[in-house]
Every structure is written in C-alpha cells, then in structure tokens.
C-alpha cells in the first residue's frame, strides 16, 4: 500500500524548519494541544522565515484537526498583499506535501482540510471581520502594523470561547505598537511564572544558518549604517524609541535648557546650530518612503555661556 500511496501523492517535500523556527513552533503547538491559551510573540529579522513557520504550523493544525470542527484565524494588516501571501504560502506547502487534493477553498479567504479551516482576514480599519471564531489558533501577521484598538475589539474576542492560543509575528518599530505591547507583557509574565512566551531571533541568529543572508545583511549594515532605523528594526530587532527620531526621549530631555527663550543673539556670544539635513517622517511602521517632511534647524547652542545645552529658540520647520 505504501508504494501505491507514494505514487499517487508524493512524499512530503516540505522545507525543513531551522532550530530557531522549531523552538517557537513546539511551544505554540504545546499550548494548542494542552488548551493552555497562551499568547506568544515571535519576532524575527526580515526574511528569517516567519511566514514559513506560520504556514507549516497552519498545515500541521489543519491535519491534526481534520476530523473536528475547528477554525484557525490569521489576520494581517492588509488582505492584499499580506494575507494573500500567507494563503499562497499555505497552498504551496500543501502542494509540497502532496495534499492539494485534500485542500478545499471556501471563497477567497478560507482553506479547509476535512472539517478544519484556516481563515485569513484583513485587519485594515474598515474590514468587516466580526462573526468568525478562532477556536484553534489566532495569528497576527506583521503585528507592528495592526491597530491595537481594531485587534482588541474585533479579533481578540475570536479566541475567547475556547481560550485559544494567540501568536503575534513581526519586526519591531516603536514602543507603541500592538506587537511591542505584547512583547513587553510576555517578558513581564515570564518573570513571574517562568514560561517562555517571547521568541526573538535577530539577523545574527539567521546568519548562522544562511551564509548568503549573512552577506546580504552585512551589506545593508554598511549601506545604511547600524544605527539607521531600518537596520535597527528590521535586522537587529531593536525598538526605535520615538519612531525613528535621531534622539531618544531621554536625550531630548537632557538637551532642554533652563534659561528663558531668546529671540536674538546676545552681542559677543558664539552660537552653534544643529542641522538635520535628512530628517524623515514615516507615516506608519514598515513604510520607509519619506513623506517629504524635512526638518532643518533643530537646535541652537551657546557654548560661550557655559557649554550646557540650551533650549532651542528656533523651532524645527515641518
């Protein structure tokens, strides 16, 4: 019989997951199997294989639940392209595993095996998503781009009836994102109960398994500089406090002077002006196209007085 089966449906050709993908995968599956209802955060450098991990998790759960009525939900900041990319990845893995004949599509956003369904939804502000239940798993793709309010109001309750496991995937941006809030909550909870819920793999971890990736990211580090917000967030996985500003809130506080605002220079004093020639403003995380705002004169110091940073008397121009 085995040879007959192998002839009709090829032997599983799924890509082998790397150790840094296996680690969160096992923790997530353990939580699903034991109905622990944990919330996980999986933060990986760009192109490290978050989508691959997610697609294989989905396929495994569909197979495990094929004989039960079970729904898993994955939301993404947009349906096209982000959710569609996830749908394509899952279908590709089904084909790799010789399971195309087992998969049934319902509409353009559901893939089912037997009685288990994987539902893909948009988390865009206007998307109508209420009514679904995630009794198997709730995943949030690119969680740094999903609005917290939308998620908490419309997606989070989907996991309520079965206390389903939730997974946030993404790369950092600033400390206000849905992803970063979940990361901080997970780190805090681990301090109390010792359960690991947060998984973090920067580019150096990925580079251990992929020499070409290491070369590429090294090139990006040289090209952008290792303090560039793009490199910091997408590869080094550092949260950029203040959303990409040059100075952190602490540094900006230190620059505040205690003198009164001056509207004219004092005769005989020397002043130093700070210029930000390439100030950029990104409207949302992951959008790296400058929106045209250029900040020119940032601050003005008077070293002749005491060389202490002074309160700026020229405001930045937006």
Partner 1 sequence: MRNFYGEVLSQAEQLALPEAEEVEGLDQEIAVLRVRLKRALEEHPEDVTLIGKGLDLLVKAVAARYRLSPKAKRELAEHMEGVFRRMSETFLSPVDREERNQDG
290-to-28, 146, 278, 283, 285 alpha-carbon distances in Å: 37, 20, 10, 8, 12
Query: Which residue number, 17 or 110, has a Cβ lying nearer to partner 1?
Result: 17
**Shortest distance (Å) from residue 128 CB to partner 1:** 26
Least gap, CB of 3 to partner 1 (angstroms): 11
Residues 6+ apart with CB under 8 A from 71: 116, 117, 118, 119, 132, 133, 134, 135, 136
Of 7 and 212, nearer to partner 1 (C-beta) is 7
Nearer to partner 1, 4 or 253 (CB): 4
Helical pair 84-96 and 50-64, crossing angle rounded to 10 deg: 60
Q: Provide the b/e sequence for 115-135 (b: ≥16 CB within 10 Å).
A: ebbbbbbbbbeeeebeebbbb
State in angstroms the smallest separation of the CB of 76 from partner 1: 23
| Shorter beta-carbon distance to partner 1: residue 115 or 259 | 115
**Considering beta carbons, is residue 88 or 223 the nearer one to partner 1?**
88
What's the min distance (Å) between Cβ of 49 and partner 1? 13
Helix (H, G, I), strand (E, B) or coil at 212: helix
d(CA 212, CA 202): 15
* Nearest distance from C-beta of residue 29 to partner 1, angstroms: 5
State the DSSP string of 36-77.
Answer: ---EEEEEE-TTSSHHHHHHHHHHHHHHHTTTS-EEEEEEES
Q: Is 168 helix (H, G, I), strand (E, B) or coil?
A: strand
Identify the sign of the CA torsion 240, 246, 247, 249: negative
Complex with partner 1: residue 91 or 221, whichever CB lies closer: 91
Taking the complex as a whole, the smallest distance from the CB of residue 10 to partner 1 amounts, in Å, to: 9
Cβ neighbours for 223, distance < 8 A, ≥ 6 positions apart? none
The least distance separating partner 1 from the CB of residue 75, rounded to whole angstroms, comes to 22
Q: Which residues bind partner 1 (CB under 8 A)?
A: 1, 4-5, 8-9, 12, 14, 16-17, 22, 25-26, 29-30, 33, 56-57, 59-60, 63-64, 66, 95, 97-102, 104, 113
Smaller CB separation from partner 1, 97 or 206? 97
């Amino acid at each position: 019989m085995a040879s007959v089966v192998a002839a009709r449906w090829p032997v599983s050709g799924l890509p082998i997951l790397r150790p840094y993908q296996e680690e969160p995968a096992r923790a997530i599956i353990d939580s699903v199997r034991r109905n622990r209802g944990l919330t996980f955060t999986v933060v990986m450098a760009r192109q490290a294989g978050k989508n691959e991990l997610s697609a294989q998790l989905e396929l495994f759960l569909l197979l495990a639940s094929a004989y039960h009525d079970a729904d898993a939900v994955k939301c993404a900041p947009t349906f096209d392209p982000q959710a569609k990319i996830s749908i394509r990845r899952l279908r590709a893995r089904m084909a790799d595993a010789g399971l195309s004949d087992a998969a049934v599509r319902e509409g353009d956003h559901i893939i089912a095996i037997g009685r288990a369904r994987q539902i893909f939804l948009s988390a865009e502000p206007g998307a109508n998503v209420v009514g679904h239940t995630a009794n198997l798993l709730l995943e949030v793709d690119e969680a740094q781009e999903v609005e917290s309010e939308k998620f908490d109001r419309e997606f989070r309750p989907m996991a309520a009836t079965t206390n389903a496991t939730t997974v946030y995937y993404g790369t950092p941006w600033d400390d206000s994102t849905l992803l970063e809030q979940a990361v901080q909550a997970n780190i805090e909870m681990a301090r109390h109960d010792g359960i690991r819920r947060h998984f973090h793999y920067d580019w150096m971890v990925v580079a251990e398994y992929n020499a070409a990736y290491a070369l590429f990211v090294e090139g990006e580090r040289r090209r952008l500089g290792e303090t560039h917000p793009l490199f910091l967030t997408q590869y080094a996985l550092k949260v950029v406090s203040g959303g990409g500003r040059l100075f952190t809130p602490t540094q900006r506080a230190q620059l505040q002077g205690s003198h009164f605002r001056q509207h004219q220079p004092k005769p005989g004093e020397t002043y130093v002006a700070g210029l930000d020639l390439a100030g950029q403003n990104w409207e949302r995380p992951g959008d790296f196209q400058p929106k045209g705002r250029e900040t020119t004169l940032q601050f003005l110091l008077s070293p002749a007085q005491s060389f202490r940073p002074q309160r700026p008397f020229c405001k930045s121009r937006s």
